[in-house]
Amino acid sequence: MKGKNLSNGHHCSPETLALGLGYDSSLSEGSIKSPIFLTSTFKFKSAEEGKRYFQLAYGLDPRKEGEENGLIYSRLNNPNLQIFEERIAAWNNTELASVFSSGMSAISTTCLALLVPGESIIATLPVYGGTYFLFTHILPKYGIKVHFVEAGSDAPTLIRKKIDEVGAVNVRLLYAETPGNPSNVLTDISAVAEISKELNKKKSERKTIVAIDNTFLGPIFQQPSKHGADITIYSATKFIGGHSDLIAGVVTGKADIIKEINVSRTILGTMATPFTGWLLIRSLETLAIRMRQQQANAKEIALLLSEHPVVNWVKYPGLLKDGSSQKTIFDKQCTGTGSLISFEVKGGEKQAFKVINSLQLFGLAVSLGGTESLVEHPMTMTHADVPPEELISIGITDGVIRLSIGIEYIEDLKQDLLNALKVIK
Ligand SMILES: Cc1ncc(COP(=O)(O)O)c(C=O)c1O
């Protein structure tokens, strides 16, 4: 299947497109699934063809009607990456997508592509620990300043205040991770997009771009492009890969921005390998059913935890109270509650570690979104680089445990948790 429509004009949904879009089996001996194109380079039919492919790739000559980029070299393009990119763009309702060797290479390539020294990012906190490190230790070395505001219902107001402080002209990127890792706090995407729209009315160039890290919910339960985000970023290592057997990242969004990011991806060499592309194509086929099953399990686990006497609180979008500002944001932009849960046990790190060490089915490992359930301690693991006082100020204490819920039989997961929580007297 090459396009998105049937011959009668019916437009297929991403769930269907995930099985066929962008792949022509007649080019691969009729193979029903795409083979892995394990090749570094591609043979041109003639010197003229090679010249034309380079003209198109580097934008040296206008594209003719219907003319597509040719395959050149796997740092620029490869069928496995292209098939995946078409399908993930369809899932996100976006024009183009670009796949990277990791979520971090997606984020860092995006920042290096879009910002120049003197420009700044306003980012919500919490963000994933690696993103925090990039923003606080690496980008400042290149003259890119990152200013943080607390994620959540007040984030748009805080962003406006920060813009007043740092000066609108230099704000190139508004960056939000929503839901935030690990607290599940939500930031209103359309309110952030509105701020960039206002800024851009006064800018003729170097316009402000809205980037949303959608790793926790997307693309099944949240599609930031529908709410005004220019680009959506993923650690595809998580739900999109879904089997804890690969590392990858995605940036998807408006064509002109993705093209700009792709130039940097080609030169920095941060693309994914063909094998990773192939694994991601396989994973996309089951993305929706995996995420729905994980969510069904997570809803039950969140409820169990919220009623447990040794648990102080549980952060899970499915437990948001009607009428709260977080629930209003949830209703506006999310279509599902996902499968990441953070909760605080009584007794701080000591008791949290006891619970973690007592779990038998939950793997004690960082990462999330795989078919198996995982447990970790954000303060000392994924977010170890964020100063503890900053974490505590947003509610991430040393008693907080993060769970990623998998597709196991729910009763087994419940029994494992209940058993482990017994260690706290
Ligand atoms: C929300 C979020 N964004 C980005 C990343 C970085 O992704 P990767 O580990 O694939 O580089 C992670 C990793 O845990 C994450 O949780």
Q: Rounded to whole angstroms, how far apart are CA atoms 317 and 336?
A: 8
| Cβ–ligand 1 contact at 183 (below 6 Å) | no
Residue at 163 is within a domain: yes
Domain termination residue (choose one: 242, 263, 284): 284
In a 3-state reduction of DSSP, which class is residue 186? coil
Atom of ligand 1 nearest to the CA of 366: 14
Residue at 292 is within a domain: yes
> What is the tally of structural domains in the chain?
2
Contact 405, 301 (CB under 8 A): yes
Tell how far the Cα of 130 is from the centroid of ligand 1, in angstroms: 7
Is residue 1 scored above 70 in pLDDT?
no
Is 239 found in the same domain as 150?
Answer: yes
Is 235 found in the same domain as 193?
Answer: yes
CATH code for the domain of 187:
3.40.640.10
Beta bridge partner(s), residue 251: 98, 233
| Cβ–ligand 1 contact at 213 (below 6 Å) | yes
Residue at 61 is within a domain: no
Q: Rounded to whole angstroms, how far apart are CA atoms 81 and 38?
A: 11
Task: Quote the tokens at residue 161.
Answer: 């205040």
The predicted-structure confidence for 269-299, as pLDDT tens digits, reads as follows 999 999 999 999 999 999 999 999 999 999 9
Is 321 found in the same domain as 214?
Answer: no
Task: Quote the tokens at residue 396.
Answer: 């991430």
pLDDT value of position 386: 86
What are the angstrom distances between the C-alpha of 296 and each of 318, 320, 361, 411? 10, 16, 18, 12
pLDDT value of position 379: 95
CATH code for the domain of 308:
3.90.1150.10
CA-derived radius of gyration, the chain: 22
Domain termination residue (choose one: 264, 284, 304): 284
Q: Rounded to whole angstroms, how far apart are CA atoms 176 and 137?
A: 18
Tell how far the Cα of 234 is from the centroid of ligand 1, in angstroms: 7
What confidence tier does 59 reach under pLDDT thresholds 50, 70, 90?
confident
Given ligand 1 and candidates 99, 100, 101, 104, which is best to mutate, with the most ligand atoms within 8 Å of its CB?
104
Q: Whose CA is nearest to atom 7 of ligand 1?
A: 103
In angstroms, how far is CA 141 from the centroid of its own chain? 25
Instruction: Name the H helices within 11-140.
Output: 14-17, 47-57, 79-92, 103-114, 129-133
| Cβ–ligand 1 contact at 247 (below 6 Å) | yes
Tell how far the Cα of 251 is from the centroid of ligand 1, in angstroms: 13
Find the helix or strand (DSSP H, E) in which 157 lies. Answer: helix 155-166
**Cβ neighbour number for residue 133 with a 10 Å cutoff:** 16
Is residue 75 scored above 90 in pLDDT?
yes
Residue 150 phi, psi (nearest 5): -70, 130
Residue at 25 is within a domain: no
Q: Whose CA is nearest to atom 10 of ligand 1?
A: 103
In a 3-state reduction of DSSP, which class is residue 81? helix
What confidence tier does 90 reach under pLDDT thresholds 50, 70, 90?
very high
- In order, the DSSP letters of 13-45 are PHHHHTTTTT--GGGGTT-SSPPP---SB---S
Tell how far the Cα of 56 is from the centroid of ligand 1, in angstroms: 33
pLDDT, mean of residues 128-138: 95
Contact 132, 111 (CB under 8 A): no
Q: Which residue has 């130039």 as its token pair?
A: 263
Residue at 24 is within a domain: no
Is residue 235 scored above 90 in pLDDT?
yes
| Cβ–ligand 1 contact at 235 (below 6 Å) | yes
Tell how far the Cα of 253 is from the centroid of ligand 1, in angstroms: 18
Is 392 found in the same domain as 331?
Answer: yes
Tell how far the Cα of 235 is from the centroid of ligand 1, in angstroms: 5
pLDDT, mean of residues 242-251: 98
The predicted-structure confidence for 352-362, as pLDDT tens digits, reads as follows 999 999 999 99
Atom of ligand 1 nearest to the CA of 107: 4
How are beta strands 209-213 and 171-177 bridged, if at all?
Answer: parallel
Is 120 found in the same domain as 96?
Answer: yes
Tell how far the Cα of 193 is from the centroid of ligand 1, in angstroms: 23
Q: Rounded to whole angstroms, how far apart are CA atoms 374 and 356?
A: 10
Is 293 found in the same domain as 175?
Answer: no
Residue at 338 is within a domain: yes
How are beta strands 249-253 and 231-235 bridged, if at all?
Answer: antiparallel
What confidence tier does 325 reach under pLDDT thresholds 50, 70, 90?
very high
Task: Quote the tokens at residue 312.
Answer: 């102080």
pLDDT value of position 3: 77
Q: Is the dihedral of CA 319, 321, 326, 332 positive or negative?
A: positive
Beta bridge partner(s), residue 344: 313, 400
Residue 147 phi, psi (nearest 5): -115, 130
| Cβ–ligand 1 contact at 53 (below 6 Å) | no
The identity of residue 176, as a single letter, is A
pLDDT, mean of residues 383-407: 93
The predicted-structure confidence for 27-45, as pLDDT tens digits, reads as follows 999 999 999 999 999 999 9
Percentage of the chain with pLDDT > 90? 94
Atom of ligand 1 nearest to the CA of 248: 10
Is 130 found in the same domain as 104?
Answer: yes
| Cβ–ligand 1 contact at 376 (below 6 Å) | no
Tell how far the Cα of 103 is from the centroid of ligand 1, in angstroms: 5
Tell whether omega for the bond before 79 is within 30 degrees of 0, i.e. cis.
no
Is 150 found in the same domain as 297?
Answer: no
Is 325 found in the same domain as 198?
Answer: no
Is residue 2 scored above 70 in pLDDT?
no
Q: Whose CA is nearest to atom 9 of ligand 1?
A: 103
The predicted-structure confidence for 103-132, as pLDDT tens digits, reads as follows 999 999 999 999 999 999 999 999 999 999
Residue at 307 is within a domain: yes
Running DSSP on this structure, what letter comes out for residue 146? Answer: E
Tell how far the Cα of 29 is from the centroid of ligand 1, in angstroms: 37
Mean pLDDT value across the chain: 96
Is 233 found in the same domain as 174?
Answer: yes
Residue at 92 is within a domain: yes
Q: Is 387 exposed, middle or buried (0-12, 13-18, 19+ CB in 10 A)?
A: exposed
pLDDT value of position 58: 86
Is 197 found in the same domain as 269?
Answer: yes
| Cβ–ligand 1 contact at 99 (below 6 Å) | no
Q: Whose CA is nearest to atom 16 of ligand 1?
A: 128
| Cβ–ligand 1 contact at 215 (below 6 Å) | yes
Range of the domain at 111: 74-284
pLDDT value of position 68: 87
Given ligand 1 and candidates 100, 107, 138, 215, which is best to mutate, with the most ligand atoms within 8 Å of its CB?
215
pLDDT, mean of residues 60-70: 91
Domain termination residue (choose one: 221, 249, 284): 284
Tell how far the Cα of 128 is from the centroid of ligand 1, in angstroms: 6
pLDDT, mean of residues 144-162: 97
Q: Rounded to whole angstroms, how far apart are CA atoms 88 and 51?
A: 30
Q: Rounded to whole angstroms, how far apart are CA atoms 332 and 343?
A: 24
Is 133 found in the same domain as 112?
Answer: yes
